[in-house]
Each structure stands twice: as C-alpha cells, then as structure tokens.
Amino acid sequence: MSLPLLRKEAREHGLVFAATAGIGAVALWSVLSVAANAGGRFVGLSRFLLTIGPLLAFVLANRLLVREYTGRTQFFLETLPIGRARAFATKWLLGCGLMLLAAGLAWAVTLRFARRTEVLAFSDAVGVLWCAAAFSVAVWSFAALAGMLGRYRYIAWGAAAAVVLLAVDVAGIPLLGVPIIRLLGQDVQMATAMPETSAFIYALVVTALCTAGATALALVGSGAMASTLAQRMTARERVFALVAFLAVGIVSYSLQPKPVQPPFEITQGERFQGRWTRVGVLPVATFDAGTARSLARAIAEDADTLIEALELGIHPPVFVLPQQGLDRHVMQRAALGAADGIVLKVAPNAPLENVRMLVLHSLLTDATLGRGMKEDRHVLVDGLSSYWALRDDEAARERWWLRAAAITEPPPADHLTAWGQTAERLGECQSLALAFSVFDTLAQRLGRDATLESMKEIFRAPKDDVRVLFERRPAATLAAAGFDWASLTAAASAEREKARERHAAALARRPTLDAAVTWRSTPGQGIAIETTVSGAARYAAYYTVLSPWATDEGDMSRLDVLGASAVLPLSPSRNARVLAVIEVDDEILDCPVRVLAERLQFR
Amino acid sequence: MNDAIRLTDLRVRYGRVRALDGLSLAVVRGEIYGFLGRNGAGKTTTLRVLMGIVGADGGTIELFGEPMKRVSVATKRGIGYVSQEQNFYPWMTPSQLGRFVAAFYPTWDGAEYARLLRVLDVPSDRRSGILSGGTRTKLGLALALAPRPPLLLLDEPTAGLDPVARREFNDMVASMAAERGTTVFLSSHLVDEVEGIATRVGIVQAGRTSIEGRVDELRERVRRVRSAAPLELPPGFTRVRADVWLADGTLWSAASWPEGTSVEPLPLEEIFLAFARTDAPVDAAA
C-alpha cells in the first residue's frame, strides 16, 4: 500500500465516492423498507448487494483503475519512484476495502433493522456477513478485471450479465442459485443456514482468476496492454458490442422454455372422449342434450382425424358453450390465461358446421403457435378447417360452393396471400367459402393424401425461437407438390365458374344489392357518415376507427338498420381513418354477405 | 566507474517491432548528453528503459556503476524525468503536485521546489490542466529537479514550445547542471538545441547508436570528401553517405588525397542527417 497514493485517490474521487455512498444509503433504506414484509431477515441486504454491489464495483473500478489509463496519468505515476505493482495493489486493495466497507455497513444497518422486530443473535448474523463479504470481493475482483480491459469493460460486464441471463432463462437455474449470487440465497436471506462450501469455493476461484487476470494486464508487457485497451472504442467496436448484446438477449429470450399450461378440466355438459380429444358441449334451453352430444362426438371425430392425418402434437380439450343473445353467425373463442384448451362461445342456433370448422381452425392455430394466421398460409388454415368439417356432408359442401360461386368480383392475383385484405373485402362467410373452394380444388387436383402430406409439412409445429426464421415457406411446399399460388388461383377460379353453372338458378334468385358509404363535414357538427343500401329491407353496418397501426378490422361496432339508409353513431375527428362495412343477410347463401367494405379517411 | 549511464547491447521489442536493437552508449557523470534521433529511432524507448517503465529484453543497464536488469524504485529516486507529454493530474495545482510527488522522494527539497516555481514563472495555485504547454513543461522540470537528483532524463521536453520558451528551458537546464553537477541525458531531434547545450552527442538510428562523442570530435571524425573522380575508401575509413566519410582524426590528418579533392568538416546537423537517413546503408572500408 502507498499512503500518498491513497491520499491522492481520496482527494480525486472523494466527492464521487461520497455521492455513491449517499445513493447507496438511500437505496439501502428503500430496499429495507420494501423488504420489511418479505419475511426474510436479510432479504433487504441481499437485494441491496445484488443491485448496488455491482454498480458500486463498476464505479470504483472506473474511478480507481480505468480513469488512470484513459487520462494517461498512469504514465506520470510510473515516472515516480513507486512500483507499478505497488500502485496497482494499492488501488485494488482500496477498491476491495471500500466494497467490504459498504457490505459491512449494509449488513450492520440490516441487522439493526431486523432487531427492531425480532430477536436475532449476533452469532446468527455473522455468517451472513461472511457471505456478503465473499460476494463483494468476488464482484470487485471481476470489476477490477473488467476495468483493466479499458474500453472493453462494457463487453465484460455485458458478458457477465448474459451468462446470468442464460443460466436463469435457458438452463433454468433460479437467480439465487447462480454461482456467486448463491452466496446471497434464501438460507442467507433468512439467516437460517450458511450456503454450501462450494458457494465459497466458487467465489474464491472467481476472485483468484479475476485478480490474476487484472494483475497480468496491469503488470505484463510493461503495462502497455492496459494503456492500449484504455483508448476509446471505435465505431465498429461499438456496433459489434451492441449487436452482440442484442443477439445474446434475443437468443436467451427466444430459447427460454415456455411454461406448459395444464389442460382445463371439463366437468359440465355433454362430454365425449375421442381417441385424442375430449369434448364437452353445454346444453341450454334451445340447445338440447342430444344435439350437444352429437356435436361433441362430431367435434371429437373431426379433431382426432385431423390430428392423426397431420400428426399434430397437441390434444387440447374442447368446450363449446352455447350462449343466448349471440348473433347466429358470431362465434368467439375464450382467452384462457392459465390453462390449455379451446373454449368457444356460440349462439344456440349457430350453424354446426361453422362451430366444427372453428374448432379445427383453433386446433391448427394452436398447433402452429399462431403462425397459421400468417398471410401466406391463413387461406390454407381456413380452407383446411372448413374442408375437414364438411368432408362427409355433401349438401353442406355444395352450400359452401354456392357461396364461393356468388363471389362475382374478380379477386386480385395475390388475394390468396393477402388474406387479411381478402377477408376484409369479402366478409367472413364468403372469404371462408373462398378458402374452402381453394382447398377443395387443391385436394381434387393433387389428391387427398398428397394434399394432406403437404399440409403436414406446412402445419408442422414450428420452433419456438429464432430458428423459426428458417422454416420452409408454404409456397415452397406447394411448389414441391407441383402447385404455385397462381396456378392454384386459376384452378380454383375455374372450379368456381363450374359451381356458378351448377347453381345458376339459385344465384339468379339472389336480389341485386347496392350499397354506398358517404360522409360530409358540417361546421359545428363535425363529420357524419351515412350508409345507404338498395335491394334489402334491412342490413347491418359495422364500423370502427382504425388506429395508426391497425391493419385489420379487429372488433367492430354494429348498427342494425331497418330501411335504406342510416347515419353511423360515430363522430370521427379530422384525419381519422374509419372502416365501414355493410352486410346483408342472404337467404339463398344462408349467411350474411358483405356488400361493401370501405376505408374512409377524412381530410 | 565514472559513467552515470552505461547501456550495452540493449534490446527491446514491441511485438514484432524491434524498438531497440543492440543499443549501446555511455554517459559520463556531470555531462549533458544529447541523444539525437529521428522519430521512432528508439529515443523514448531508451528513456523509458532508464526510468524502469519498460523492461529490456536483452543487454545490460548500468546506472552509477550499478548493473541492473530493470531500474528499481530505489534507483528511480535518484532520477528526475521530464517527458515530452506532461500527463499531470489535471485537477492538481503545482503546489498539490509538489506535495504529492514529495512523498515519494526522501531527498525532496520543498524550498527548492518553491524557488524553481518562482524562477520558472509557474503559478503555484492554478490547476495544471489549464496551464499552457510551456508552463507545464517548466512545471515538469521543477518537479524533476526539486529532489536534487544526480541524473536528469529529458525526453524531448521542448517539443511544441516556441523558440523563446525552448531557449529559456535549455538555459535553465544548462545552468542547473553546471550549478549542481547533475548528469543530463537529453533526447531530441532538434540538432541546434542539442548542439547548443550538449557536451557529448549520440545519434541513434533504428534502435542502435550509430555514433557518439563530443561535438568537436564528431566534426573531426566525420567529413565530406568531394572529388571529380570516384575515390577508393582508404583503410580505416567508413562511408556514411556517398561523400560523407567517417574515420579517426589521426587518419584524416595522415591521409593524402588526389589533386582536386576537397575535404570539408561538417556541422552537427549534416552529421546527424548523414547518419539518420535510411535511404542507403553505412558501408565500412574493406
């Protein structure tokens, strides 16, 4: 130790150290107050050392070691008759001493705090002091090593943080079980037992290695290494460090195993246990037990056969809850927070084929971790789920072909891979019919087995991490089967034309509908949006204000209109965007048909 | 031994670069030794070896007759050092710097330091970070001289100073050296500066001493030989450059030259240029 050097350090850094001590005191008071009800006597000390400890070590290393090199005053120091080793030892020991002082003071304050409410023998708390000291010395030795790495010290700290992150997120080690941090584990927090000897050995090894590394950097090579490292990072190094940190963060996050949610238990309603799928349907007044039982069986068969055909790895329980008051064509899937499964709320008079289709749709969405809803495969999810639900019901299939044939407006070339826009334009009934027609065409052309083989590939469970970026695109799978989106579009179009011929009589009975949405801005009254429909006695107007980031319709408000026109109960502001939709119940198609979907912008 | 410094076959490498490649020199006690060399020739490395900042990879170091592998802390107490960069703690005033540095030197003379600050016109109460370059250099000299060291190492101390400040600094060094008998080892690439102050000169090139001696000796040994016809190198002569030859003074006196040959003594600057240029090797007579 060199006394003159200690005095110099005190003068040079005293103010910063005092400020750090002040911040540390406030932090200690805060964690002790917060941790007072945490149950452990030394929870506050543990939290303080885990948060403020590394911060204090970082500040100390910066001030005592890094600054001397970056400011080139190390060179002046070396011209004085004091050995480099002695100067380094003085600084290292000063930093270590200050860390121990901080830990000791924090321990003493925590002990006093704990003794206000309970009897705690000094001898019981001494072990905690040892743990705090070992932790502090290990952290300081690492900070000193990082400090001697000069401009790369941030990378060293980042790497240490990444190691902890990976240990916790990937290896599944609890934070208080990570080596070194284990010194402040639960037994220590409760002051009930000392950590295992290995925890101290880890700390000792880390301290020894870091100290040896820091000493080598300070003394070997005439100290030139430390001086060189102290220079500022280049822009390239900064970018590299940033990208490295982001990569580690993303990888550790994406590799984090997702919690397995338990399936919910079905205890009510008519239950049916299929080979893979358990289904429950709750009978209500207008939905009798027999219908419920038969629906449960049909759903179980649908799901089981699809699971087997596509070798899906999930077998969620399904529960259908008929609910009075819902519109016939409105079906909702309940969000389950803590359990796994498919719960649907439907109207008692909902078309059963649609309920079955929605179950299969949910199954495929879950099996693909939601990736089935991506634009380049959504049509296949809709198509396959409807195709599967209708597979044994020729009458229903023809009804859906009729709906598809009713699409008169020629779809744009990319309508199958821009499914959000297609569905917005056509509405649910006809977009599902379109998807069905596309899938049915694919199955006819390729053959059922080959089509299912392709779907097995497309709906395979994706990797739940960054590797998903390398998954095969549906277009590539279709191409392998001899199809591409353009040829599929053309083939489906041809099939719809045939359906139009088959159902010409029915289609001719459909009324001619015309709809318009207009808006006007009146001073003092704002913007009024008016919908007009000719050819129908009643219609439903849906509307929503689109947020700046909204791309789809989301949940829309509904206005049932009797008559030819209505003003929407909406007063949007200037520059707002509104999506207005008009649907009319089509008796021939047996579903609501979207007559108009228009995005308005008020400039 | 009368040598303050004796370096023999000194070698220092920075990775693949040979900073010193067998450098040898001797500095007699009480003299001012001018150490001339181009940038990168090895001057600063030599001084850093002498200060113990850089360790030598080979060769021997003798300071005041004591051989050592690396300059010890005890030896450093007898050395004052002024570098080309004054990296003082910027928040310290000259007074505070004096107190800080004093703690490391048992021979520190506080009164002398105060006198030097006055003589050198260095304000004692201003932070060193805001002092001008010239004032910082003078502060460095005061810090180096206050312990009354027997050896003063100056590493291009006047680089960046204006001519007046440079002259003042050199005059101060010369008078201190004369007054105290201090040995001064002054490295520089400014020939006129060295010529005006040094009693002996060494020229370093590519990590080796090319030549050393008193300034008048060097002028006697190195001369320019002009002749209409090409001349053979006489025995004992070395060709430094095309027409600059090196030989002992006695050989120059004894040599007989063909008619039409002129032999001129050279100023130190020409001698330095002849030895320091790297565009042709120095040849020895067969």
Strands of the sheet with B183-188, listed across from one edge: B79-82, B151-155, B183-188, B32-37, B200-205, B208-214
Average pLDDT in the B124-146 region?
88
User: In angstroms, rounded to a whole number, what is the distance separating the alpha carbons of residues B251 and A150?
Assistant: 58
User: In angstroms, rounded to a whole number, what is the distance separating the alpha carbons of residues A361 and A366?
Assistant: 9
The owner of tokens 């350090």 is A9
> Whole-number mean pLDDT of chain B?
86
Cβ of B89 within 8 Å of Cβ of A8? The answer is yes
List Cβ neighbours of A92 (8 Å cut-off, separation of 6 or more): A144, A211, A214
> Whole-number mean pLDDT of chain A?
86
pLDDT tens by residue, B209-268: 888 899 888 888 999 988 877 778 888 888 888 788 888 888 888 888 888 888 888 888
Among candidate residues B149, B168, B150, the one with its CA nearest the CA of residue B158: B168
Cβ of A78 within 8 Å of Cβ of B53? The answer is yes
Cβ of A78 within 8 Å of Cβ of B83? The answer is no
Residues of B in contact with A80 (CB under 8 A): 76, 101, 104
Dig out the tokens for A131 from the structure: 């743990």
Burial of A207 (0-12, 13-18, 19+ CB in 10 A): buried
Dig out the tokens for A455 from the structure: 């779907």
Among candidate residues A82, A123, A243, the one with its CA nearest the CA of residue B77: A82
Average pLDDT in the A507-515 region?
92
pLDDT band at A549 (very low <50, low <70, confident <90, very high): low
pLDDT tens by residue, B78-122: 899 998 788 899 999 999 999 999 999 998 999 989 988 988 888
0.80 surpassed by pTM: no
Residue A142 has pLDDT above 50, yes or no: yes
The residue among A12, A80, A227 with the most chain B CBs within 10 A of its CB, best to mutate, is A80
Q: Which stretch, A111-115, A289-293, A412-416, has highest mean pLDDT?
A: A289-293
Q: What is the pLDDT of residue B286?
A: 32
Q: What is the pLDDT of residue A266?
A: 72
Residues of A in contact with B106 (CB under 8 A): none
Contact between residue A106 and residue A48 where contact means Cβ atoms under 8 Å apart: yes
Residues 41-60 of B with CB under 8 A from A: 48, 51-55
The distance of B165 to chain A (nearest Cα, Å) reads 22
Average pLDDT in the A306-324 region?
90
pLDDT tens by residue, A40-59: 778 888 888 888 899 999 99
User: In angstroms, rounded to a whole number, what is the distance separating the alpha carbons of residues A567 and A559?
Assistant: 10
Number of Cβ atoms within 10 Å of the Cβ of A469: 9
Residues of A in contact with B87 (CB under 8 A): 71-73, 75-76
Q: What is the pLDDT of residue B279?
A: 58
Q: What is the pLDDT of residue B259?
A: 82
User: In angstroms, rounded to a whole number, what is the distance separating the alpha carbons of residues A572 and A529?
Assistant: 9
Cβ of A81 within 8 Å of Cβ of B104? The answer is yes
User: In angstroms, rounded to a whole number, what is the distance separating the alpha carbons of residues A599 and B236?
Assistant: 102
Q: Which residue of B has its CA nearest to A7?
A: B100
Q: Strand, coil or helix: what is A321?
A: strand
Residues of A in contact with B76 (CB under 8 A): 80-81
The distance of B22 to chain A (nearest Cα, Å) reads 19
Chain-centroid distance, C-alpha A55: 30
Dig out the tokens for B61 from the structure: 């170091």
> Of residues A266 and A324, which shows the higher confidence score?
A324
Length of chain B: 286
pLDDT tens by residue, B12-47: 888 788 888 889 999 998 899 999 888 888 888 899
β-sheet bridge partners, residue A560: A540
pLDDT tens by residue, A341-357: 899 999 999 999 999 99
Q: What angle (nearest 5°) sits at the alpha carbon of residue A388, between those of residues A384 and A389? A: 120
Among candidate residues A332, A327, A382, A334, the one with its CA nearest the CA of residue A350: A327
Q: Which residue of A has its CA nearest to B81?
A: A79
Average pLDDT in the A207-224 region?
83
Residues 208-267 of B with CB under 8 A from A: none
User: In angstroms, rounded to a whole number, what is the distance separating the alpha carbons of residues B90 and B102?
Assistant: 18
Residues of A in contact with B105 (CB under 8 A): 81
Q: Which residue of B has its CA nearest to A12?
A: B91
User: In angstroms, rounded to a whole number, what is the distance separating the alpha carbons of residues B15 and B285?
Assistant: 35
Say whether the ipTM exceeds 0.85.
no
Of residues A71, A81, A222, nearest to B54 (C-beta):
A222
Residues of B in contact with A83 (CB under 8 A): 73
Q: What is the pLDDT of residue A17?
A: 87
